Amino acid sequence: MKKTILDYDTVDLDEENNALVIIDQTKLPGSIELLKITDLKEMWDAIFLLKVRGAPAIGVAAAIGIYVEAVRLAETAKSFEEFYSGFAKARDYLDSARPTAVNLNWALSRMDEVAKRASELPLKDVLEKLHREAIEIREEDIRVCRSIGEYGLTLIKDGDGLLTHCNAGKLAAVKYGTATAPMYIGQEKGYHFRIFSDETRPLLQGARLTSFELHSAGMDVTLICDNMAGSVMRNGWVNAVFVGCDRVAANGDAANKIGTSMVAALAKQYNIPFYVCAPTSTIDMATPSGDEIRIEQRKPEEITEMWYERRMAPNGVKVYNPAFDVTDSSLITGIVTEYGIARPPYAESLERIFAKKSEEKQVK
């Protein structure tokens, strides 16, 4: 049978060649090209240029990427101190590639902790531990997204119309995605959903990625321009909205792809539940509210000329191009995590989610 995008790993480690392997998402859906990256600067570029993108996938790529770099550093380092000085520089460098998705820092911090804890061991054992952690971060993502899918599925029923914004799909994670996880798990159980995918200006993650992967999976997906969401909602075609996120603050405010907050406001207008799907790795309890979330600004050409045969805006016009916006927690019906669904007031319910997480960790 012909391979589809679902048969490729979004992010992986090539053990033999010590390389980070990603699908180059800037080439989708036209061609599926795998990149094998061994160079740190190329890893940074891959994250910055959105060759690998989506909060969980960025985290996994950073974990594998810094492991690949650690192997290289260990080849010449004569002591742990020498090794760790290069490792810490690489960690900070990768961490600077994109500011909004907390998973980048979360994954690099996990790898950093492992390196520091192993400081007394020979470098080959340090590498062994870093390898284990990178693989665990990748495998964990699959389990976490599946669990989000199962909780998410309890919120909807067979035949529902669902709307999503950007790509919080398999291409944004390792498998299942977050916002798409209830759709994939529902499909496994024989459910049929009518899915609306916002095209997501300016980088078209909805058109190029979400509609591509859901269509390849054989789902009923309809692509709409961002400014059509209100119309399909008013028509009564949407029973629930599922979106992903890049960082959830302690009060439940959630940063996600630019345009998400408009969808949330529309959903409220039409009385449609609006769910944010967030692994606990995306919830940043150290950030009190959305006001403190740093929003990435990107270059004007993404709006003025990218995708067009010729420039579509006057030369010299001012452009504002934030990559993300913050959805006020008051617009969010529930935050679906791998430990259950948090409901307002989020300051308390998110605390409970983390309490459950640490209880389950202790049992293990």
Instruction: Please say which residue, 40 or 263, places its beta carbon nearer to ligand MRU.
Output: 263
Shortest Å, Cβ 88 to ligand MRU:
25
Cα separations in angstroms, 8 against 61, 190, 221: 15, 23, 21
Token pair in block for residue 310: 């010729």
Q: Which of 141, 246, 284, 325 is catalytic?
A: 246
Instruction: Please say which residue, 37 or 323, places its beta carbon nearer to ligand MRU.
Output: 323
For position 338 contacting ligand MRU by CB under 6 A, the verdict is: no
How far is Cα 96 from Cα 47, in angstroms, rounded to an integer? 10
Longest C-alpha distance within the chain, in Å? 67
For position 257 contacting ligand MRU by CB under 6 A, the verdict is: yes
Token pair in block for residue 259: 């345009």
Whether the CB-CB separation of 274 and 156 falls below 8 Å is answered with no
For position 178 contacting ligand MRU by CB under 6 A, the verdict is: yes
For position 303 contacting ligand MRU by CB under 6 A, the verdict is: no
> Which position among 94, 166, 250, 303 is part of the footprint of ligand MRU (CB under 6 A)?
166
Whether the CB-CB separation of 6 and 217 falls below 8 Å is answered with yes
For position 101 contacting ligand MRU by CB under 6 A, the verdict is: yes
CA 355 to centroid of chain Cα atoms: 23
Token pair in block for residue 76: 């010449």
Return the closest-CA partner of residue 13 out of 169, 97, 127, 135: 135
Instruction: Please say which residue, 45 or 348, places its beta carbon nearer to ligand MRU.
Output: 45
Piece in contact with ligand MRU (CB under 6 A), picked from 124-132, 173-181, 219-227, 310-318: 173-181
- Quick note: the x/- pattern for ligand MRU over 58-97, rule CB under 6 A, is ----------------------------------------
How far is Cα 96 from Cα 92, in angstroms, rounded to an integer? 6
Instruction: Please say which residue, 177 or 186, places its beta carbon nearer to ligand MRU.
Output: 177
Rg (CA), the chain: 20
> Which position among 12, 44, 46, 54 is part of the footprint of ligand MRU (CB under 6 A)?
54
Cα separations in angstroms, 263 against 69, 105, 203, 230, 260: 40, 28, 17, 8, 5
- Has 198 been annotated as catalytic? no
Mind telling me the catalytic residues?
246
| Site residues for ligand MRU per CB under 6 A | 50, 53-56, 101, 166, 168, 172-173, 177-178, 205, 244-246, 256-257, 323
